[in-house]
Amino acid sequence: MKKEANIFVICAPEISPILHEEIKALGFTNTKEHRLGVQLYGTLADCMYLNLQLRTANKVLWEVSKFYAANPDQLYNKAIKIAWEEEIDVDGYFNIDSFVKNDTITDSRFANLKLKDAIVDRFMERNNKRPDTGPDKDLIRIYMHWVETECILYYDTSGGVIAKHGYRKIPGTAPMLESLAAAVIMASKWDKKSTFINPMCGSGTLAIEAALLATNTAPGLFRDNFGFMHLASFDKSTWDDMCDRAQAQIKPCEAKIYASDISEDAIKNAQFNTEEARMNKHIEYSKTDFRQIDIPEEPGIVILNPEYGERLGEEDELIDVYKEIGDLFKQKCQGYTGYVFTGNRELGKNIGLRTKRKIPFYNGSIECRLLEYELYRGTKKEK
């Protein structure tokens, strides 16, 4: 548990600045931001804490070894010297995942096989017995990042992707990933106390993530399995203490959170997911067209994630929707800050208001923007 090594926290494109701030806020120092993640240094206990607390991460990787390998034979020769038995039980199980970009490898599965052979051969030499391997990703996972001649091997302490926070049982159509929703809210600089309004709420992800932030609820509390739980140095009492402390740090929600959708099915799904997240006391849902919603006097933020018009012919149908979002902002949301998350910049122009910020994100492979609008009472000059 006390052994220290490099930790690399992976995230989606454009999220690393937000993830970096999140990691620093947890008290970690000597961090370095990369395009697809943040690097730091620590123990397995640190990896456990990051898995428990992080909202915007995909995975937490704990470095095993870093070495030069020009070809598969060199990979094998280096990997067989690593003390895998320190973390993998001889009667255990492991799975290998990888990113490989090496001129001698045409199929990453061959590199995975070479690494697997090195690990099991080491066990056979020492114990005449070996752990099982295969496709099961719920136990020990080893991640190999091999680019050109630099090979880095990690234990994937997350196992499953922690970008999914574990409460959303009914995703609905075209859902926003939980980590992306959290990153979008953090990018908005919402204070976690003022009014949060989410028309077009779909399966409720934005509203639920807002409630989790406002109550300081750690997203890892919803998961019962992580990769680190299957490593030999995992200390269950340390993990239980972390979870108990996280549970004790949950606080009352000061914000009023309102979510609505025109679809009755969407509202039912959102309410179900909200109950799974134990946030049903903090979110008020209504089946309402966004054009007819009531906006409370107390200012805060209004955030919408409308459709992007990904399929042929859909874009023209959505022009009026984006215009009506602009009308909603102008007519009902004075004093608020408005946000529209969209993967279609041309449609975004139909909102008809000057943006204060355009924050880049990716939703899967779709390049998106979070458009921010300062919605003044009266005129900007009066303000």
**CATH number reported for the structural domain that contains residue 31 in this entry:** 3.30.2130.30
Residues 67 and 139 in one domain: yes
Q: Which helix (H) or strand (E) holds 187?
A: helix 178-187
Residues 323 and 185 in one domain: yes
Range of the domain at 81: 5-156
Can you point out the beta strands (E) in the chain? 5-10, 32-34, 37-42, 59-68, 93-101, 132-133, 140-147, 150-156, 195-198, 257-261, 283-287, 300-304, 337-342, 357-363, 366-374
Phi, psi of 302 (to 5 degrees): -120, 125
Considering 98, 123, 156, which residue would you say is the last residue of a domain? 156
Residues 17 and 127 in one domain: yes
CATH number at residue 365: 3.40.50.150
Tell me if 255 sits within 8 A of 300, measured CB to CB: yes
Query: Does residue 236 form part of some domain?
Result: no
**C-alpha span between 255 and 296 (Å, rounded):** 12
Query: Does residue 231 form part of some domain?
Result: no
Considering 123, 156, 189, which residue would you say is the last residue of a domain? 156
Tell me if 182 sits within 8 A of 213, measured CB to CB: yes
> Hey, what are 293's tokens?
């919603």
pLDDT above 70 covers what percent of the chain? 97
**C-alpha span between 15 and 176 (Å, rounded):** 14
pLDDT tens figures, 289-345: 999 999 998 899 999 999 987 665 577 788 999 999 999 999 999 999 999 999 999
pLDDT tens figures, 89-125: 999 999 999 999 999 999 999 999 999 999 999 999 9
Query: How many domains are contained in the chain?
Result: 2
